[in-house]
Structure 1
Amino acid sequence: MEKSSAKLIKKFSSRMQARLLLVFCVITLLLVGLIGRLVYIMQTDGERYAKQVLSRQSYVSAVLPYKRGEILDRNGTVLARSELRYKLILDPKNLLMNAEYIPPTLIALKDHFNIPEETVREILDKRPNSQYTILAKNLNYKEMNDFKAFMEKNSAVKSVWFEEEYVRTYPYGTLASDLIGFTSTDNRGFFGIEEYYNEELNGTNGREYGYYDSSLNIERIVKKPENGHSIVTTIDSNVQRIIQKHIKEFNEETGSLNIGVLVMNPNDGGIIAMASNKEYDLNNPRSLEGIIPEEELQAMTPEQKLEALNKLWRNDAISSGYEPGSTFKPITVASALEEAIINENTTFHCDGGEEVGGWYIKCSNVNGHGEVTLEEALMKSCNDALMQIAAAEGRDIFYRYQNYFEFGRKTGIDLPGEEAGIITALQNLNATELATASFGQTFNVTMIQMAAAYSSLVNGGKYFQPHVMQQIINDSGATVKQMDQLLIRQTVSKETSEFIQKAMYQTVEVGTAKGAKVEGYAIGGKTGTAQKYPRDAKTYLVSFLGAVPAINPEIVIYVIIDEPQNVPRQDNSSIATEFAGRILKEILPTLGIYPEGEIDYLLPTNEEDQDNNNDDPDNNGQDDNTDNMDNTNNTDSSGDTQTDNGQNNETSGSDSDHNDGDNSATDDADEVGDISGEGNADVTGETETNTETDTNTTTDLNTNTDISEEELINSEGEMEDDEWFFDEEEFNGAAIGPMDE
């Protein structure tokens, strides 16, 4: 072992050590030279090498936005669109690496976009490592294109580029605001079609990948975005514009708490127009200026402003409930016809009221309409006859048909925020409740429910689901989805539908809805007057629900005026019928519905007309308001017709036409009674009958039906079993007074 070590030591001679030292010295000198060379390069040509390194560093640009789909009316008019705009982007890090480009770039930004040089220098100081800083937004194409052209001619302007963005715009401002809704900056829809079809309207973002070349120009690789689909609606923008114009004119001339107008196609459920007087600018939906007085607006807290905005954005036609009143009477009659409980030749004796459940409930004509046919019961809006019909039906049949017509549940319209309404549970539908429900009291509906139900009555019995979407098309115009008729059920037979059409025509021609007449057209419809809670406030909703033409209609129109202002009496349904007539006169030609020849084909013979107008021989053409007006202030015009000279034969609240020469202040006050909203003659004619339960079922047009009743509503929107019925404490005899003699 020792010999081996000695041999190794002996072999590593001094000569070898000298050579090793020489190699080490040479390597050291080479390293020193290399370091010197690197230092020299960094000092003399470092910027060029830095650019070469930077050109090999890839980056990912900002997302390329998709274009949200358009919303169009039935004729192709664009109601909502996304317009292309541009963002101006600065890369501070890159610009700082090329100091000679800073001055010309800053000057160019100031000259073209009025961006102060101090602002850009502050960004360079505070964000030197940033490669993405937005300098300006919402630039139009000309601004972008002019600057790009300038950059091509001036190579000293660097580290600036543009990104596309889309801004949602509404060309017609307030038009159809209840239906369309609006979006946030991140393309999220709020309310209306924008919210309901948000997923279809939105698309998929693209991406842009790129790198700097040796001249610091950006080379890009682009993955294109996928644009959203467009929604072709059933809305007619011309009809919508006319309706909103008339609402404004009415509020300027007369005034109201709110107005709801709905026009739909009864033959497929398509919504043609829908509006209220709470319109807002879709391009600036969060502004209350011009809607709330300036002084009041300044005094509001942020919470109050938010509450006001939510009320403003709310679509009352689908979200607010009320008692329908006499517009519901055709449904009561149709249900009995379907069950063969009555027929077209059935007659009724109206003696001024009915004693039901221990209470005497008056008809609008306290002296009685006398002997009336089924058709006359609707024409005159006779509560007495309707109560007799409902009693013959019984609560099982009545309740079943309420469900057939989709009351107490949502219609399924393709708009967000729909409410279900409230109907009385079957076990609580006792004699008194059944009687008052027969003429539209003590339960709660929405405008869309009533319009859809009435449409099925006049279109042959087919209940179509209401909808606003007609077609979904892609970016290339190809159809993605087509909305066909969605038939829910057959509610009534064709024969029943034909009877209702004729009876509603007679109601407009010689009955309680004369104010809705339009020269040259056959129009059918029913008036309504609903007394709001609290009853002693004597405030009312007046309405008209009709169809044109009266036979085989092409449109259904529903008008509600909530608390008309500056009128002698709010409980005057002629306010609504005349308002509907003005709207129809203008929208019918717009929809291509024109007068056709003679329209008196449904009018009765002279003898029949004379009989209709002399149903109360004791009245002698005099207005019989004096017995009831002071006590009820809301008797029903239902059941009121006129003599040939225009005088009112019935009691206060008669639905005679203002234009026929009747000067009664109660002209067209549609069958309002003190029990509830309309069509109710009061129980005694002296004091008001209290049908109000612990929870108010009638809300204003701008009130959510479910706010106060939330704890009472089950999953179907009905009242819980232990609520919403008359009990002895609620239906207080002492509060009402003695029955009429």
Structure 2
Amino acid sequence: MGERQPVKKKKKKFGLFMQQNLLAVFLIVLLAFVGLIVRLVYLNYSVGDKYEKRVLSQQTYMSNAIAFKRGSILDRNGTVLAESIRVYNLILDPLKMQSQNGEYVEPTLKALMKCFEVKEEEVRTILKEKAKSQYVVFQKLIEAEKVEAFKAIQENDKNVQGVWFEDAYKRVYPLKSLACDVVGFNTGGTSTGIESYYNDELTGEDGREYGYFDSDLNLERVVKEATNGNTVVSAIDANIQQIVEKHVAKFNKETGSKNTAVLVMDPRNGEVLAMTSGKQYDLNQPQDLSGIYSKKKLAKMTEEQKLEALNNMWRNFIVSDTFEPGSTFKPVTVAAGLEEAFVKEKTTFYCGGSKRVADRNIHCAVRAGHGTITLSQALMYSCNVALMEIAEKLGPSRMYHFQTNLMFGSRTGIDLPAEATGIIFQKDKIGPTELATLSFGQGFNTSMIQIASAFSSLINGGNYFEPHVLKETRSDSGATIRKKGTNLIKKSVSDTTSGLIRKFLHETVEDGTATAAKIDGYTIGGKTGTAEKYPRGSKKYLVSFIGFAPADNPEAVIYCVVDEPDVADQAHSTFASQLFHDIAQEVYPFLGISKTPEALKQEEKEQAEKEKEEKKKKQEKSEAKKPEAEDGKTPSGTVLESVGDEEAGVQDDVDLPIADETTGASDLIR
């Protein structure tokens, strides 16, 4: 066969119709493109300015935060305990400072170094590393005086550029350490006390200042003002707080202890008037341990030890720590016996010095025994045997119910952070021994605020009020937002039982274990407490006293706890009773608590005798000044004598100062 010839492909040619269609499409595209160009030209020349303005008006060109002012904390009389003062943050604008070929750098750097103790190399590093930035926070919380000094230089030298200031606020505590446990601090992300608990009330909302171009291309500035925080008015009385801290400092200096704490409350409503754990520190410098530890001891501390020391210093012993209350719990057991009708006012007990419980003898404080005693004397002499017999009659169930009804084992609800619940036995865990020791305040843990709140309810007619440190909150303008008011939680005992408890506790101070707490002219009621700490036999004790006045209608409760007094023999509640006495004899007159009618009558008598004696001395002084010559006589023969204001009985109204060993103040806060 011959070779196959390749097939030749025929070239296709567009027909006339196809060529016409392609030309039409091309013309349409060309016309559309020309139309688009014409439209763009039209928009640019006719309405371009309109759209340019619209775009520019949607762009933000400047935005700065405006800091809010944190609310103040006041005492009940308006004394400032915490406030925020105006300060400034220093802002660097490296781009501006280095403009104009850098001619602003040296004059600006010189001014910064003069007014703010700036390190030259630090600024130059920022200028180099952040050359294009217009916002660098360089220093914070600068006082106004330094800022004004810099601005004065800036006004006189136009080459000082690229520095401006933002408003800010600094938290300060004018009274330094006063009421540090209650007020607390708010610094560096850490807060305690009222500053922590009422942070939401005290915190405001930042404002903002920003700028934009309006429809006419004018730069408009809009300011949304900051919303300042609310003012918190506490129930604390700075004067009473000062008195308390003065005496605690004196006790710590003369005797000392692991913890010396005092709480002053109004039993009629649960208000806390004063509170101190005895470890004073300056709220303006809350991380300064030098007030408690020597430089030598601080130098030996590790960072972990310093942190632990700070936490202990900041810890509110009254609210956050628990301990065995000892005999200050005995009024609770007596009240339970009265409420359940297992004992009456005239019930008697026999104390032989100990009581056999299960397989052990539990002793009374008086090993020889108290003999036959009444219910009142059981409290007066703090007899363990009598209290164990009352608890035995009540039984575990009733005793547990009464204990929990008074909020032991639960938080009281006080408006301070980190409140402890305490530790108590559950009902099914209370055996004969646990029941016996529970009756006189051992074998369980409680806090000072729990004891004070329960005790207040026993003496005020049986009303358990929620303890609180807040009196009211106010807006930045001063308007009252809300008042705390009195929160009655429950009825704890009857009026009759409450009256008997007051009577027994008054007799305890008059003739029992608490005679050291007596104050001339006042009727005082109260109870001592001495609790041996674990491990038993270590000879470490927590001693306490809780008292009130007047005995028939209590207006103020003062609770003193001395944890491990710095003495060889710690087991003496007199340390706490005497501290109560020293504080109460100043606090009760300050509060205007009335003395007994007999005391007032005696004071009137003594005052009358004093005035009579002063009058007699003035007459004798006047007689001694009479001239014997006739020159000293008037025409009528009467002797003229000039008498000064003081001799005439006119005196200036002067507040007598009360020294304050802790704050250095020479007078009560006004």
Normalising by the smaller structure, the TM-score range is 0.7 to 0.9
**2:138 maps to which residue?**
135
**Are 1:531 and 2:538 an aligned pair?**
no
Identity between Structure 1 and Structure 2 (%)? 50
Q: Distance in 1 between matches of 2:160 and 2:460?
A: 70
**Are 1:506 and 2:507 an aligned pair?**
yes
**2:128 maps to which residue?**
125
Q: Do the aligned residues in 2 keep the contact of 1:545 with 1:557 (CA within 8 Å)?
A: yes
**1:724 maps to which residue?**
none
Paired letter, 2:578: E
> Which of 56, 66, 69 lines up with 1:67 in the alignment?
69
1:21-45 alpha-carbon deviations (Å, 9 max, x no partner): xxxxxxxxxxxxxxxxxxxxxxxxx
Q: Distance in 2 between matches of 1:422 and 1:2?
A: 106
- SS of the residue 1:579 aligns to: helix
Paired letter, 2:82: A
**1:158 maps to which residue?**
161
Closer, same or farther in 2 for the Cα pair 1:212/1:89, shift >3 Å? farther
**1:587 maps to which residue?**
587
Q: Do the aligned residues in 1 keep the contact of 2:521 with 2:600 (CA within 8 Å)?
A: no
Q: Distance in 2 between matches of 1:222 and 1:354?
A: 78
1:455-498 alpha-carbon deviations (Å, 9 max, x no partner): 00110000001111111111111122211111110000111111
Q: Distance in 2 between matches of 1:106 and 1:355?
A: 86
Structure 1 stretch displaced more, 508-517 or 290-299: 290-299
Q: Do the aligned residues in 1 keep the contact of 2:248 with 2:260 (CA within 8 Å)?
A: yes
Q: Do the aligned residues in 1 keep the contact of 2:550 with 2:594 (CA within 8 Å)?
A: no
Paired letter, 2:586: E
Paired letter, 1:556: V
Structure 1 residue 232 displacement after superposition = 0.5
Closer, same or farther in 2 for the Cα pair 1:152/1:55, shift >3 Å? farther
Structure 1 residue 201 displacement after superposition = 0.9
- SS of the residue 2:553 aligns to: coil
**Are 1:249 and 2:232 an aligned pair?**
no
1:683-712 alpha-carbon deviations (Å, 9 max, x no partner): xxxxxxxxxxxxxxxxxxxxxxxxxxxxxx
Paired letter, 1:406: M
Q: Do the aligned residues in 2 keep the contact of 1:247 with 1:276 (CA within 8 Å)?
A: no
**2:645 maps to which residue?**
none
Closer, same or farther in 2 for the Cα pair 1:124/1:229, shift >3 Å? same
Structure 1 residue 128 displacement after superposition = 0.7
Closer, same or farther in 2 for the Cα pair 1:2/1:504, shift >3 Å? closer
**1:477 maps to which residue?**
478
Q: Do the aligned residues in 2 keep the contact of 1:325 with 1:441 (CA within 8 Å)?
A: yes
Q: Do the aligned residues in 2 keep the contact of 1:189 with 1:198 (CA within 8 Å)?
A: no
Q: Distance in 2 between matches of 1:139 and 1:294?
A: 29
Paired letter, 2:68: Y
1:62-94 alpha-carbon deviations (Å, 9 max, x no partner): 422111111111111111111110122121112
Structure 1 residue 116 displacement after superposition = 5.6
Closer, same or farther in 2 for the Cα pair 1:212/1:588, shift >3 Å? farther
Q: Distance in 2 between matches of 1:105 and 1:581?
A: 64
1:529-570 alpha-carbon deviations (Å, 9 max, x no partner): 000011121111111011111111111111110111135x21
Long gaps (5+) in structure 1: 8-53, 602-741
Structure 1 stretch displaced more, 296-305 or 501-510: 296-305
Closer, same or farther in 2 for the Cα pair 1:540/1:418, shift >3 Å? same
**2:386 maps to which residue?**
385
1:306-336 alpha-carbon deviations (Å, 9 max, x no partner): 1111111111111111111111111111111
Q: Distance in 1 between matches of 2:140 and 2:248?
A: 38
Aligned length: 549
Paired letter, 1:543: S
Paired letter, 1:191: T
Structure 1 stretch displaced more, 220-229 or 525-534: 220-229
Structure 1 residue 160 displacement after superposition = 2.2
Q: Distance in 1 between matches of 2:227 and 2:210?
A: 17
Q: Do the aligned residues in 1 keep the contact of 2:261 with 2:276 (CA within 8 Å)?
A: yes
Closer, same or farther in 2 for the Cα pair 1:600/1:354, shift >3 Å? farther
Q: 1:319-398 residue pairs with structure 2 within 5 A?
A: 319-398=320-399
Closer, same or farther in 2 for the Cα pair 1:106/1:340, shift >3 Å? same
**1:661 maps to which residue?**
none
Closer, same or farther in 2 for the Cα pair 1:108/1:56, shift >3 Å? farther
**1:642 maps to which residue?**
none
Q: Do the aligned residues in 1 keep the contact of 2:68 with 2:228 (CA within 8 Å)?
A: yes
Between structure 1 and structure 2, the one with the greater Rg is: 2
Structure 1 residue 409 displacement after superposition = 0.8
Across the aligned residues of Structure 1 and Structure 2, the Cα RMSD in angstroms comes to: 2.7
Closer, same or farther in 2 for the Cα pair 1:121/1:355, shift >3 Å? closer
Structure 1 residue 583 displacement after superposition = 1.0
Closer, same or farther in 2 for the Cα pair 1:210/1:429, shift >3 Å? same
Structure 1 residue 341 displacement after superposition = 1.4
**Are 1:575 and 2:575 an aligned pair?**
yes
1:411-460 alpha-carbon deviations (Å, 9 max, x no partner): 11111111111111111212222112111111111100000000001100
- SS of the residue 2:565 aligns to: coil
1:642-693 alpha-carbon deviations (Å, 9 max, x no partner): xxxxxxxxxxxxxxxxxxxxxxxxxxxxxxxxxxxxxxxxxxxxxxxxxxxx
**Are 1:182 and 2:185 an aligned pair?**
yes
Q: Distance in 2 between matches of 1:222 and 1:151?
A: 26
Q: Distance in 2 between matches of 1:173 and 1:352?
A: 51
Structure 1 residue 119 displacement after superposition = 4.5
- SS of the residue 1:537 aligns to: coil
Q: Distance in 2 between matches of 1:600 and 1:352?
A: 42
Q: Distance in 2 between matches of 1:107 and 1:322?
A: 61
Structure 1 residue 123 displacement after superposition = 2.5
Q: Do the aligned residues in 2 keep the contact of 1:244 with 1:276 (CA within 8 Å)?
A: no
- SS of the residue 1:327 aligns to: helix
Q: Distance in 2 between matches of 1:515 and 1:55?
A: 80
Q: Do the aligned residues in 1 keep the contact of 2:241 with 2:275 (CA within 8 Å)?
A: yes
**Are 1:88 and 2:82 an aligned pair?**
no
Paired letter, 2:488: L
Q: Distance in 2 between matches of 1:406 and 1:337?
A: 19
Structure 1 stretch displaced more, 332-341 or 342-351: 342-351
**1:266 maps to which residue?**
267
Structure 1 residue 226 displacement after superposition = 0.7
Paired letter, 1:278: K
Structure 1 residue 121 displacement after superposition = 3.7
Structure 1 residue 399 displacement after superposition = 0.9
**Are 1:489 and 2:499 an aligned pair?**
no
Q: Do the aligned residues in 2 keep the contact of 1:181 with 1:189 (CA within 8 Å)?
A: no
Q: Distance in 1 between matches of 2:117 and 2:406?
A: 63
- SS of the residue 2:537 aligns to: helix
- SS of the residue 1:365 aligns to: coil
Structure 1 residue 368 displacement after superposition = 2.5
1:579-615 alpha-carbon deviations (Å, 9 max, x no partner): 11011112222223242422699xxxxxxxxxxxxxx
Q: Distance in 2 between matches of 1:246 and 1:367?
A: 36
Q: Distance in 2 between matches of 1:211 and 1:359?
A: 86
Structure 1 stretch displaced more, 125-134 or 446-455: 125-134
Closer, same or farther in 2 for the Cα pair 1:148/1:430, shift >3 Å? same
- SS of the residue 2:453 aligns to: helix
Paired letter, 1:588: Y
**1:615 maps to which residue?**
none
Structure 1 residue 504 displacement after superposition = 0.7
Q: Distance in 2 between matches of 1:259 and 1:6?
A: 109
Structure 1 residue 211 displacement after superposition = 7.3
- SS of the residue 2:597 aligns to: coil
Structure 1 residue 142 displacement after superposition = 3.2
Closer, same or farther in 2 for the Cα pair 1:5/1:439, shift >3 Å? closer
- SS of the residue 2:285 aligns to: coil
Q: Distance in 1 between matches of 2:446 and 2:172?
A: 34
- SS of the residue 2:583 aligns to: helix
Per the normalisation by structure 2, the TM-score is 0.77
**1:701 maps to which residue?**
none
